Amino acid sequence: MRPRVRLSLIGFQVRERQTNRFNPGKSIVGAHSIEEFCAKLKRPRRIMLLVMAGKPVDDFIESLLPHLEEGDIIIDGGNSHFPDSNRRTRYLKEKGIRFVGSGVSGGEEGARYGPSLMPGGNEEAWPHIKDIFQSIAAKSDGEACCDWVGDEGAGHFVKMVHNGIEYGDMQLICEAYDILKRGLGMPVNEIADVFAKWNKGVLDSFLIEITRDVLYFNDNDGTPLVEKILDKAGQKGTGKWTAINALDLGMPVTLIGEAVFARCLSAIKDERIRASSLLDGPTPEFTGDKQAFIDDLEQALYASKIISYAQGFMLIQEAAREYGWKLNKPSIALMWRGGCIIRSVFLKDITNAYRNNPDLENLLFDNFFKAAIQKAQQGWRNVVSKGALWGIPTPAFSTALSFYDGYRTRDLPANLLQAQRDYFGAHTFRIKPECANENYPEGKDIHVNWTGRGGDVSASTYVV
């Protein structure tokens, strides 16, 4: 049965050349069926699907297969979940077909002027599509924002992390807007001026730029349209996928998780309206140097963005280990420098960090970012503390700072947590190397009868 969704197929290098009246001078050939479409393509055929993620992709693959030959290439350019791309790569390889799952980011502007492309899958396909992909991709300092990412679903995995970081960036910007609006009592046009200034400094990015434009935009009555928009944020699930995968891999990608939960909180609008009349809290009242605080907020936003990207690359690094992928971190940072939604000036610094040290354990260990965080710390802490004192929620700012403080802490209170687990569930613990002795040997799973009433058998083995 033919899939009952709109067909969107791009066939590369058609045999015939025909000028489309809507695209004069372009090599476009029409086809009235999948069979005719496949027949018109040069071998190996290169076919790109741009359809809704999920079952429609599988349906179209099945519709194409009877008309393809060994060595042909199917490219999925939709927002597919990476496990689906893993499965499709393996399935099509058995049939002699090369599959590419490519993340695509850029929105309407990227569609017209060049997106960021993140291809992964069957690497044998890359030489056949490399020139095409890199020619249509966005450019940053003359380099194409497109390179081979890795095996199987690696391309869609990197796009998933990109979308998660996008969630985090947007939430951070919204929290900064809320602090300026409610904490400092600034009108929207003045907040727009702040974002316009920030877009000329370390925060120069697509999302800061569009925030400026949104805040400057007035309705027909001359008032800011943004103030009339219902405060219920939507989501399509890619941020949730990132957070779930981070939990699956045991990676503390806290900022993206908080950004997803913030959208969930926004969605219960009716309940929040009731709570606003029943629950008390402080009323923001700012005193002091307003410009100095705005400068602190800029640094807090910058530092929190660094944490978000550091967490994102931690997840990418762990995924490479877990799934056996070879991922090129400098190329990933380059792919995000132009065309995509999270493009920003400091992605060039991330690219440089990983080019200087491809084995960099954590972005925060790079000298540039270590110095940037150090410079931002005082203002960052001031903003988070003011948010708490004013009763203005800052889940993304706060979790970024908490992660930083947790990450730099040699001894966390998890020792007590593990003792609790052993007490109530006999889950065992391990002793610190410097405290090891004959009774508590190093590297062994130990259970203690904490009360004298328990047993000596552990319920499970200690797992980190």
Instruction: Give binding residues for substrate as ranges.
Output: 79, 105-107, 162-163, 167, 236, 263, 421, 427
Under 8 Å between Cβ of 120 and 101: yes
- Token representation of residue 133: 């992909």
In sequence order, what DSSP letters do the residues of 266-295 get, joined into one string?
Answer: HH-HHHHHHHHHH---PPP---S-HHHHHH
Q: Measured between alpha carbons, how far is 460 from 427 in angstroms, rounded to an integer?
A: 5
- Token representation of residue 420: 């609790």
Annotated binding site: 79, 105-107, 162-163, 167, 236, 263, 421, 427
Say how many C-beta atoms besides its own lie within 10 A of residue 12's C-beta.
Answer: 18
CA torsion through residues 194, 195, 196, 198, sign:
positive
Say how many C-beta atoms besides its own lie within 10 A of residue 175's C-beta.
Answer: 26
Block residue for tokens 């491809």:
358
DSSP state of 202: T
Q: Measured between alpha carbons, how far is 288 from 323 in angstroms, rounded to an integer?
A: 52
Is-catalytic flag, 227?
no
Q: Which of 26, 152, 166, 375 is catalytic?
A: 166
Under 8 Å between Cβ of 131 and 167: no
DSSP state of 321: H
Q: Which residues have a Cβ under 8 Å from the Cβ of 347 and sit 6 or more positions away?
A: 333, 334, 336, 337
Q: Measured between alpha carbons, how far is 164 from 311 in angstroms, rounded to an integer?
A: 10
Is-catalytic flag, 159?
yes
Name residue 344's beta-bridge partners.
205
Q: Measured between alpha carbons, how far is 103 from 148 in angstroms, rounded to an integer?
A: 11
Phi-psi region of 448 (alpha: psi -120 to 50; beta: other; left: phi over 0): beta
Q: Which of 159, 240, 329, 386 is catalytic?
A: 159
SS (H, E, C) 46-112: EEEECCCCCHHHHHHHHHHHHHCCCCCEEEECCCCCHHHHHHHHHHHHHCCCEEEEEEEECHHHHHH
Q: Measured between alpha carbons, how far is 424 from 416 in angstroms, rounded to an integer?
A: 12
Q: Give the alpha-carbon dihedral of 110, 111, 115, 121, to 10 degrees.
A: 150
Active-site residues, by number, are 159, 166
